[in-house]
Chain A
Amino acid sequence: MRRRVIFPNKVLPYLLLAPQLAITVVFFFWPAAQAIYYSVLLQDPFGLRTQFVWLENFRIILTDPLYLGSVQVTVIFSTAVAALPMGVALLFAVMADRKIRGTHVYRTLLMWPYAVAPAVAASLWLFIFHPDIGIIGRWLNDVGMHWDYKLNGNQALLLVILASSWKQVSYNFLFFLAGLQAIPRSVIEAASMDAGLGRAFWSIIFPLLSPTTFFLLVVNMVYAFFDTFGVIHALTGGGPAKATETLIYKVYTDGVMNLDLGGSSAQSVILMVIVITLTALQFRFIERKVHY
C-alpha cells in the first residue's frame, strides 16, 4: 500500500506564499493596473487636470510613424539579443563540457558577466568603444573606419546589441552546461561512435537539450524586450536620432522626459500585450517540439 502524503495544515501554505505574493502584487500587478488606468486618461504632469479619453492615446500612438520606427528597431534588436547569446553560449557550453585542463576556470570566468549590473556593463563597453577615449574605438578610427556611435545609428545599434548580448551569454551558458551534463555519457559516446561528433550533436544532443533551449528562448526574449533598458540608457540614450530607441526605451522617454503619462502608459500596455502574445505563441507552437 502506498503511503499518501497529505499536508495537514490549511493555513501554513498561504502564509509561506504570502511574502512572494505580496511582492508580485505590489511590484507587478498594481503598476500594470495603474498603467492600464492611465492609458485611457489625458492628464497634465502634475495630475491637476485629468480627462477621460477612451482609446485616443492608443490611436495616436499606433498611427505615429515614430512609434512604428521604434517597433522596427525593437524587432531587429530583440531578434539579435535573443539569438546571439544562445548561439555563443551553446558553443561555449559544448566546449567547456569536455574533460580538459582548466575547465573549472573557464566555467567560472564565463559566469561572471552575469553578475555585472546592466549600467556598469554599459559603462565598460563605453570605455572600450568610445571614439575618443575607448581602446578599440580609437583603434577603429586609426585604421580608417569611421567609428562614432554617437553619430552613426547603425553603429550605435550594433554596440547596444553586443553589450546586451554579452551579459546574457553567461546566463545561457550556465543552463546549457547543466543541460549537457544531464545527458548520459553513454548516449553521447554511442552516438559519436555511430555518426561522428558533428552529426551526433545535431541529431541526438541538441534535441535532448530542447527543454533548456525552449526555456532560454522565452527568458532571452523577455530580457531583450525589457531588461535591456539599462544598457541602452547608459550607452546611447536611445540615440542618435532614435536609432536605438526600442519600445521599452520609448516608454521611458515619453513618460519621464516628455511627461506624457497617457501616451507612455498606452505604450506600456501595448508592449505588455506584445510580450504576452509572443510567450503564448512560443508555448503553443514550439513547446510541442520539445522532448521532455
Chain B
Amino acid sequence: MKWLLAVGISFLVASSSASAEAQQRVQVEFWHGLGQPLGGILEKVVADFNASQPRYQVNATFKGQYPETMMGAIAAFRAGNAPHIVQMFEVGTATMMAARTAIKPVSELARETGVSIDPKNYVGGVRGYYSTTDGRRVPMPFNSSTPVTWYNKDAFKKAGLDPEKPPRTWEETWAAARKIVATKAVFHGSSGMRARVVREAKFNWGVTFLPYYKGTKNAPKNSIIGGASFWVMTGPKRTAEEYKAVAEFFSYLSRPEVDAKWHMDTGYVPITLNGIALASGQGYYIKNPGADIPFRQLTLTEPTENSMGLRLGNMPEIRVIIQEEMEKAFQGQQTAKQALDNAVKRGNVVLRNFERTNRP
C-alpha cells in the first residue's frame, strides 16, 4: 500500500512539473474558420511563430466555417471563456465593431503593450475598411481577398475562344458562356481559391479581372475586400502578458516575409507594402502570371463612395436574404428586379433591428 502511495505521489509530481514546463510559455487561444488547405497553411504560420521565440505559444483551432466560428466565439464570450484571438469574416465586421467592450481594438493593443504594428505599412484600402471613421484600427487584417474570375483555358480552346483573351465585360462573358456548352468553365470566386485551383485543377486554368458592364462610366473601378481579419477578444481573466503575446503575434504577421509567403501560398492579397515589394522582388509575379490580378484589381482606382467596401450591421443575415431572393428568381418565382426590391426591403428591416439592439 505504501509503495502504491509513493508511485502515485511521484507520478503527480512528475506530471505537474511537466505541465509547469509547458506553462512557462504564455498561452494564447486562437480560433479560425479556414478549412483545408488554407487552414493548414495558416496553422503552419502559427507554428512558425511559436518556433521563432520561446516566450509565447499560440494555439490555433479550427472551429468550423466562419458563421460557426463567429457563433462559437460569441457564446464563449457570454460564458466568460472567449478565445484571445478569433478570425471573423468581413461580413461580421460591423457586428464585431459594435461589440464595444467585448473586443480590444488593435490601436489600443499596440499602445498598451508598446509593440509596434505600423499602420502605414498596410495597403490603403485594407487599412480603411478595418478602421473606424475616426481612424482607429480595430481588427488585425490578415487574409484579405477579392472576387476574381477563374476560367478553364482548355474549355475555352475547345469552344474556339482565345484562352489568352478572357472576357472583360459581362456582355462578353454571356457570349462566351453560350459558346461553351459544358458549363463550369468559368466561375467567379474568391482569390483565396488559388491554393485549391493550383493543387486540384486538372486542366489549364487562367485568372482575370471581374467583368464589368460595357458602357459603365469610368469602369472598371476597384473591387472591394473580402476575406477575414483577426479580432482580439477581452475576457475576465486576461493578463497583460497575454495581450503582449497577442501583440507580438500580430507584429510577426505583419513582417514582409510572412505576408508575402501567405500571399504566395494561398492567393490572398498581400496587405503590406513591404510584403508586396518582397514578392515582386523575388520574381513571383513573373513566374506566376495572373497572381497579381487580385491586388491590381483592388487598387485599380481610388475608391469612390460605392467602392469603399461593404460594412453593414447584421450583414450575415443580409447576405442570406440576398441569396434567398436570388434563389426565388432562379426558380422563376420572381423577376430580377423584384428580387432586388425584396432584398432591399428585407435588408432595411434587418438594418433597423441592428440599430435598435445597438442603441448606445
> Which A residues fall within an 8 A CB radius of B?
42-49, 151-153, 239-242, 253, 256-260
Contact B330 A258 (CB under 8 A): no
A48 touches B324 (CB 8 A): no
Contact A239–B100 (Cβ < 8 Å): no
> Could you say which interface size class chain B belongs to?
20 to 34
Binds A, one of B7-15, B70-78, B236-244: B70-78
The 9 closest A-B pairs by CB, nearest first: A258-B317, A240-B327, A241-B327, A241-B328, A46-B102, A44-B357, A241-B324, A256-B71, A47-B78
Does A256 lie within 8 Å of B67, measured CB to CB? yes
Hey, which chain A residues are within 8 Å of B314, CB to CB?
258-259
Do A44 and B358 contact each other (CB < 8 Å), given the known contacts A239-B324, A257-B316, A259-B95? yes
Q: Which residues of B are in contact with A by a Cβ distance under 8 Å?
A: 67-68, 71, 74, 77-78, 95, 98-102, 314, 316-317, 320, 323-325, 327-328, 330-331, 333, 350, 353, 356-359
**Residue of B with least CB distance to A53:** B356
Which chain B residue has the least Cβ–Cβ distance from A150?
Answer: B327
A259 touches which of B74, B101, B102 (Cβ 8 Å): B74
Collect the chain A residues with CB atoms within 8 Å of residue B98's CB.
44
Q: Are A48 and B101 in contact (CB under 8 A)?
A: yes
Interface-centre pick from B100, B323, B331 (highest chain A CB count, 10 A): B331
Assembled-state Cα–Cα distance A153/B332 (Å): 11
The one of B67, B78, B356, B357 that contacts A257, using a Cβ cutoff of 8 Å: B67
Q: Give the shortest distance, in Å, between A266 (CB) and chain B (any CB).
A: 14
User: Nearest chain-B residue to A44 (Cβ)?
Assistant: B357
Residue among A42, A44, A253 with the most chain B CB within 10 A?
A: A44
Contact status A46-B78, CB under 8 Å: yes
Tell me the complex Cα distance, A153–B77, Å. Answer: 37
Interchain pairs with CB closer than 8 A, number: 67
Contact partners of A242 in chain B: CB under 8 A: 324
Other CB < 8 Å A-B pairs besides A240-B331, A241-B328, A242-B324, 12 of them?
A44-B98, A45-B95, A46-B78, A46-B99, A46-B100, A49-B357, A49-B358, A257-B67, A258-B317, A258-B320, A259-B71, A260-B317
Contact B71 A153 (CB under 8 A): no
Q: Which residues of A sit under 8 angstroms from B99, Cβ to Cβ?
A: 44-46, 48
Q: Which of A44, A46, A49, A241 is within 8 Å of B333, CB to CB? A: A241
Contact A42 B328 (CB under 8 A): no
Residue of B nearest to A253 (CB): B320
User: Within the assembled complex, what's the spacing in Å between the Cα atoms of A43 and B353?
Assistant: 10
* B92 nearest CB across to chain A (Å): 9
With A and B bound together, what is the CA distance between A260 and B357 in angstroms? 10
The reply to whether A239 and B102 form a contact with Cβ atoms under 8 Å apart is no
Q: Are A151 and B100 in contact (CB under 8 A)?
A: no
Are A43's CB and B357's CB within 8 A? yes
Of chain B, the residue at the smallest CB distance from A154 is B331
Whole-angstrom CA separation of A46 from B330 in the bound complex: 36
Q: Which residues of A contact B327 (CB under 8 A)?
A: 151, 239-241
Closest B residue by C-beta to A64: B349
Instruction: Look across to chain A and name the residue whose beta carbon is closest to the beta carbon of B98.
Output: A44
